[in-house]
């Protein structure tokens, strides 16, 4: 059972997440073989204030 985990800033639409899951699954099967039914994709939406880069919170570095 392949597991793909995506951690990204929150805010993507349900349709964007559908497309992401489909394309990741298709790409995995194309590159590594296997059945799409066996590929699991987990999306973790992370608030910008819970993520830091280069010593700064992303909410400060990349304000909306």
Q: Which active-site residues does the annotation give?
A: 2
Report CA-CA distances (Å) from 56 to 27, 38, 42, 51, 64. 33, 38, 26, 9, 15
Evaluate whether 7 touches 42 at the Cβ level (below 8 Å). no
């Amino acid at each position: 059972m392949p597991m793909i985990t995506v951690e990204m800033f929150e805010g993507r639409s349900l349709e964007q997440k559908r497309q992401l899951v489909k394309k990741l699954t298709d790409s995995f099967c194309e590159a590594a073989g296997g059945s799409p039914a066996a590929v699991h994709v987990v999306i973790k939406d992370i608030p910008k204030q819970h993520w830091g880069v280069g010593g700064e919170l992303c909410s400060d570095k990349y304000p909306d």
